[in-house]
């Protein structure tokens, strides 16, 4: 073994034996433990386990007179002599609680129309112009003779065809509200087009996660 030099801070001579023992222990070979022999959990008879169960699957059928299932997809029925399940007739359409629509790629204005009022609001709340916000459309905004579902269908057509930059929209049926998401830099442009295209009444409000109401239109 090569010579080893031990450098230590000066102190009482009684510490030297302890430091020498510590250095000697550090230089001793590291003990190696032999790894245990691997024992597989499955029997090692050389035969592979079956890929399919020995018994065929049971036949699935909708029992009559029971409660209506909660799942949306159509139930499946296994018929004798067929390897694949056959879909049952779908139940009558039921409106889901939430639906989404995304704006298609379309022409957008060349300049951003952000008013001084909105710029001051972003500065007060420390918001970035590219942060996402949402316009909230209530049932009361739909006007007389128009319900929320009709407004939602009109919005879906407008979002797909009109130049609404980076917009997504969702209907919250449990809240009786429609949310239209957009970047803050396009918020006023999107709000004006929503009021005009959907013929909304009253005021719609713009919200972000940290501020429930930063702008009304």
Take residue 165 and report the two structure tokens written for it. 């930059």
The per-residue pLDDT of the chain, averaged, comes to 75
Residues with Cβ < 8 Å from 121, sequence gap 6 or more? Answer: 127, 214, 215
Residue 73: what pLDDT?
47
Band of pLDDT at residue 108, cut at 50, 70 and 90:
low
Band of pLDDT at residue 157, cut at 50, 70 and 90:
confident
Take residue 25 and report the two structure tokens written for it. 């222990």
Rounded average pLDDT over 168-193: 90
Residue 69 pLDDT exceeds 50: no
Least confident of 16-30, 42-56, 129-143: 42-56
Residue 47: what pLDDT?
64
For residues 217 and 191, the answer to whether their CB atoms sit within 8 Å is yes
Residue 72: what pLDDT?
45
Residue 217 pLDDT exceeds 80: yes
State pLDDT tens for residues 83-99: 554 444 544 455 555 57
pTM of the model: 0.52
For residues 76 and 85, the answer to whether their CB atoms sit within 8 Å is yes
Rounded-to-integer distance, Cα 4 and Cα 6, Å: 6
Residue 179: what pLDDT?
92
Take residue 177 and report the two structure tokens written for it. 């509200």
Residue 137 pLDDT exceeds 90: yes
Rounded average pLDDT over 71-82: 49
Rounded-to-integer distance, Cα 82 and Cα 51, Å: 20
Domains recognised in the chain with CATH numbers? 98-103+128-216 (3.30.760.10)
State pLDDT tens for residues 9-39: 777 878 888 888 888 888 877 777 888 887 7
């Amino acid at each position: 073994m090569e010579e080893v030099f031990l450098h230590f801070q000066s102190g009482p001579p009684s510490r030297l034996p302890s430091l020498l023992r510590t250095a000697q222990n550090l230089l001793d070979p590291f003990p190696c433990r032999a790894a245990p022999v691997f024992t597989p959990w499955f029997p090692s008879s050389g035969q592979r386990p079956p890929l399919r169960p020995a018994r065929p699957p049971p036949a699935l059928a909708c029992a009559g007179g029971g409660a209506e299932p909660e799942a949306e997809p159509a139930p499946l029925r296994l018929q004798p002599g067929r390897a694949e399940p056959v879909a049952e007739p779908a139940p009558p359409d039921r409106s889901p609680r939430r639906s989404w629509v995304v704006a298609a790629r379309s022409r957008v204005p060349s300049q951003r129309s952000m008013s001084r009022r909105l710029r001051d609001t972003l500065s007060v709340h420390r918001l970035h112009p590219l942060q996402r916000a949402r316009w909230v459309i209530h049932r009361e905004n739909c006007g007389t003779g128009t319900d929320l579902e009709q407004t939602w269908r009109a919005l879906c057509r407008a979002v797909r065809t009109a130049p609404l930059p980076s917009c997504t929209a969702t209907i919250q049926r449990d809240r009786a509200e429609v949310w239209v998401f957009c970047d803050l830099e396009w918020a006023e442009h999107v709000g004006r087009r929503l009021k005009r295209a959907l013929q909304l009444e009253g005021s719609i409000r713009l919200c972000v996660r940290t501020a429930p109401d930063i702008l009304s239109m």
